[in-house]
Structure 1
């Protein structure tokens, strides 16, 4: 791989150097694993490392070898053991350290594989401070150990009592993934998806067992609440395709799409084919030309396809580009349409009560859309004028929904994945963030005072309330999250009672009208330091009481302590370090068993004795700062 370096204005033979595979992966990790991150986002690199190793285990299972996978995460060390055929012993080193080496170029060995390019485990190897691979095969084993991709020890073959399979252990490199931590919810979600797509596969994670019997039906049951569904989940299976679908009362569309066991979080040709085919089949069945938006409003669905040699739009495989099921075969569009035209149509004919409930849900969406039409038009005209001189929004250069352009598309795509909008309260807070932000990837939206508590209100309020309307336009989510402008939506409020209240009101807005933003892991809460502890030699920023006490102990001799209550109190120079590489942001997670409407009713509905009791039981009294200092 040739890399051109800038050396003044000179461009000579000395300007060009060749990088080996390790150097290139470490120099441009985004090309191989997407964004780096610290583990607070589900698509951060440390989870991609786990996924790359697991994909090889899944491919073995799909070929009929190995019904169980064990994964252990302890003290930042990841160990994955499968019970497939095991890497051929003579190729143990090559498979994890020679780029473009693998068994998946020949479709006979891995017909519908996830890992295709012989890159995955090499990237894990290069981005780990320690990497060990052990193959168990026919009573023999062989291991190899690496540091940052460099072979440090190759063990000789030896006898073993272990069952066939492969074990990989690695420590992600903390100089690449700074301050990283594993969020167990993200890993469990990843493992559940593997199980849903491979019914019968058993995955054991830190002693906890994951298994699915009914595939995508189990997935939708886990992702939805039965009492919110308008009709029982429709579950359809065919050769190389599986679909599960229902409607609920949420706004927007919630689609989960998969290719060869890979969760395509950014969709692709198969997801678009499903959206179009579903609309056509429903129109044909009811013999009515319903609006596509009304048919898909409040839909919750999962679609999985198997494709021979799929084409993805990047190494991270989050968006499918394949137009055909296999080379020279049927188009993706026709394949999905033919399946739904037969199976979904048959199902609706056999289950008239489901068909009737589906029809009522579509017609309800149609009525709601028509009721909104008048006010929506006026609100959008106001928003269009406001957008020309939108004082609330300080935009950034790169946006999540745009197609990457330019010579280095992967670098542009990386910046688009990093795109972030901070939602702040008041001028002082937004002023500090605006001055400190990275103008390429960080935007700021400033609220005026406290937003409206929108619980129990209809979507009409989003258009009637100027602030909400401008916010939905800034995010570009009026017609769903497909065109979301920013990958990360970060609520940045003061660490006081008013700031917490604003945070709750914003979360209510998102959960009420755009729940898929939260469910798809786009919403975060910014953590800013509560204390600055310093002496003449050192300054330490502390995010909680325990960090503050540790800092006081470290600096000793009565250091100066500052308590930050408002973001506006933190200078732009200081703020830059809290929203840069070391930014701490807490993901807003909605667990599958969470009943969103009940949750909002409890916390944001009318005041009830139960909520009063909860508040009283959880009251915390902050001691006076002077009382806390060691005497």
Structure 2
């Protein structure tokens, strides 16, 4: 039997791709993961951010104090009032790779975008893309589709103010079922406002503006009382804001480079954490444990770097070691800044220094009191994990820095063996893990973290996620609650969200917690099968598939065969992010939903709870929750 060993390899195998073809073939190289908008780092938000970064850079170069953003049914329009793209280069600036004004640092200094790729990526990945530039009474416009120019308009007179306007609609063939979520965009815009005091950003009529920079950011983000007023320190190319809260058990940081929210930190955040401990130790002349010094800290740090090096095109982690070509290292720069500014501040404000010292001593005492329980819990978790069938792990993990697929890592928290069995058989063993709950978890509202170590299930879940100390070593990017779409399932969702809000709120704040949406119905005829996630989708399928289609009602996850389930946790996965809003603190949220079952709460749930399953009665959910509370 012959076997072909050497397939033909000729000139015909060598291809040269146009710039837009390469971006569309490998979009992840330019905008990270694609996604449908359920995650804050999904590609559709990166598209928006790439355009917005250019407008921000105009403001940072003292040109234009206002940016207008409109979102209408998937179409994004961003208008700034900066200098405007030079009219003769408008088409080149948005459609020719390695064309831009930021390479020599003359027209732009310490900008976010430096490689001339961002706007071109947006162009190539948009079904519709229009650019208009206004300069000195003249206007130039061009329209594209998927990177290919459709209309190159002649220059003409214009009375509009100088600046640039870009509109785009993401390509639905690349961003499947995409949907912009207002909460993620608003969070992005708030950060831009804090980092650029004096800049006014208008988004669908809402204004984002800050006068006090990072101090305003902490004021907005803080959810419990602070132990002392926010310490706000600034100098050339660096700004920090620091305080401690009285309830948080973790460290909370907001880090930025050249106005870019580096959600994964990097060299500057590592330097700040080291510098803060070093400064506090030297001020008090005591070798405090680093974890005690930083426990409950809430801090924001922003630095400006010439020609920053990020670890990916999406710029979420700084890799630069130097401030600039002739400057100090990032580490030295931040250590020197805190040693000078923070040390001086503490000497001038002894009441703040005393509050910090008290907090450190309290943290030290609490750590020692918990150490015995923690030791026993860790030993028990380690012993059980050798035989633990509740966690079916995957091979790739989010905390593996060299893992190219770490952003795809997921863990499904399921109820019972039936549901976990379907997911386990249909999952991707490389990136998807499963953790099976025994039944309804404990309602931990109002309890201390001691319960996390004493409750075996919570302790094992904490160990599986690897979040005992912080989110730095989180093992899965997406933590997904996968329960049946019935009363019991919805109650389990509520109890699990309570657990994370109570003890690991940063998991939610950083966009890692999701609810898995699974179909309620399967409607099919001999030619086509439709999976319906709501009663409306079922009715639509019945109308479109003709007479007498077969209808299957899925009552639980365990009823869906593994062959079918692989679609619902694969490329067609539908996730609903758990997002903490800005109107209430976490403490207020927990009190309202998990405290005493007040008539106010019952009325609110009856009026606002969205239930896709027509068989579920809202009052039945209330009765179930009331019994638990």
By the TM > 0.5 criterion, same fold? yes
Equivalent residue for 1:628?
none
User: C-alpha offsets along residues 201-246 of structure 1, whole Å, 9 cap, x if unaligned?
Assistant: 0111112111111111111111113x43222221111111111111
Query: Which residue, out of 517, 520, 527, partners 1:527?
Result: 517
Change (3 A) 1:616 1:306: closer
Equivalent residue for 2:349?
351
Equivalent residue for 1:436?
426
Is the contact between residue 521 and residue 553 of structure 2 (CA under 8 Å) also seen in structure 1?
yes
User: C-alpha offsets along residues 42-76 of structure 1, whole Å, 9 cap, x if unaligned?
Assistant: 00000000000011111111001111111111121
Query: Which residue, out of 217, 235, 238, partners 1:238?
Result: 235
Task: Determine the C-alpha separation between the residues in 2 that align with 1:322 and 1:224.
Answer: 30
Is the contact between residue 251 and residue 515 of structure 1 (CA under 8 Å) also seen in structure 2?
no
Task: Determine the C-alpha separation between the residues in 2 that align with 1:624 and 1:239.
Answer: 61
335-344 vs 258-267, which moves further: 335-344
Task: Determine the C-alpha separation between the residues in 1 that align with 2:584 and 2:194.
Answer: 20
Task: Determine the C-alpha separation between the residues in 2 that align with 1:399 and 1:210.
Answer: 37
Change (3 A) 1:65 1:445: same
Alignment RMSD, CA only?
2.0
Change (3 A) 1:513 1:62: same
Q: Does the residue aligned with 2:201 lie in a helix, a strand or coil?
A: strand
Task: Determine the C-alpha separation between the residues in 2 that align with 1:388 and 1:271.
Answer: 36
Deviation, 1:620, is 9.6
Equivalent residue for 2:558?
568
Equivalent residue for 1:184?
182
Q: Does the residue aligned with 2:15 lie in a helix, a strand or coil?
A: strand
Equivalent residue for 1:119?
117
**Structure 2 gaps, min length 5:** 617-629
Equivalent residue for 2:627?
none
Task: Determine the C-alpha separation between the residues in 2 that align with 1:599 and 1:145.
Answer: 46
Is the contact between residue 397 and residue 440 of structure 1 (CA under 8 Å) also seen in structure 2?
yes
Query: Would you say 1:12 and 2:9 are equivalent positions?
Result: yes
Deviation, 1:585, is 0.7
Equivalent residue for 2:444?
454
Map of 1:16-415 to 2, 5 A cutoff? 16-225=14-223, 227-248=224-245, 249-404=247-402, 412-413=403-404, 415=405
Is the contact between residue 535 and residue 614 of structure 2 (CA under 8 Å) also seen in structure 1?
no
Task: Determine the C-alpha separation between the residues in 1 that align with 2:307 and 2:602.
Answer: 58
Deviation, 1:280, is 1.0
Q: Does the residue aligned with 2:555 lie in a helix, a strand or coil?
A: coil
Task: Determine the C-alpha separation between the residues in 2 that align with 1:369 and 1:144.
Answer: 62
Equivalent residue for 1:463?
453
Deviation, 1:549, is 2.6
Is the contact between residue 394 and residue 429 of structure 2 (CA under 8 Å) also seen in structure 1?
yes
Task: Determine the C-alpha separation between the residues in 1 that align with 2:388 and 2:212.
Answer: 50
Task: Determine the C-alpha separation between the residues in 2 that align with 1:623 and 1:464.
Answer: 39
Q: Does the residue aligned with 2:319 lie in a helix, a strand or coil?
A: coil
User: C-alpha offsets along residues 126-173 of structure 1, whole Å, 9 cap, x if unaligned?
Assistant: 101111111111111111111111122211111111111111111111
User: C-alpha offsets along residues 251-299 of structure 1, whole Å, 9 cap, x if unaligned?
Assistant: 2111010000000011000000110001111112222221111111111
Change (3 A) 1:611 1:183: closer
Is the contact between residue 310 and residue 322 of structure 1 (CA under 8 Å) also seen in structure 2?
yes
Change (3 A) 1:8 1:385: farther
**Structure 1 gaps, min length 5:** 1-6, 405-411, 626-631
Change (3 A) 1:168 1:364: same
Task: Determine the C-alpha separation between the residues in 1 that align with 2:185 and 2:596.
Answer: 36
Is the contact between residue 224 and residue 592 of structure 1 (CA under 8 Å) also seen in structure 2?
no
Map of 1:416-431 to 2, 5 A cutoff? 416-431=406-421
Q: Does the residue aligned with 1:73 lie in a helix, a strand or coil?
A: strand
Task: Determine the C-alpha separation between the residues in 2 that align with 1:599 and 1:107.
Answer: 47
Deviation, 1:603, is 2.1
Change (3 A) 1:318 1:619: closer
Task: Determine the C-alpha separation between the residues in 2 that align with 1:89 and 1:267.
Answer: 38
Task: Determine the C-alpha separation between the residues in 2 that align with 1:618 and 1:72.
Answer: 27
Query: Would you say 1:499 and 2:489 are equivalent positions?
Result: yes
TM-score of the pair, normalised by structure 1? 0.93
Task: Determine the C-alpha separation between the residues in 2 that align with 1:8 and 1:238.
Answer: 65
Q: Does the residue aligned with 2:435 lie in a helix, a strand or coil?
A: strand
Equivalent residue for 1:516?
506
Q: How many corresponding residue pairs? A: 610
Q: Does the residue aligned with 2:360 lie in a helix, a strand or coil?
A: helix
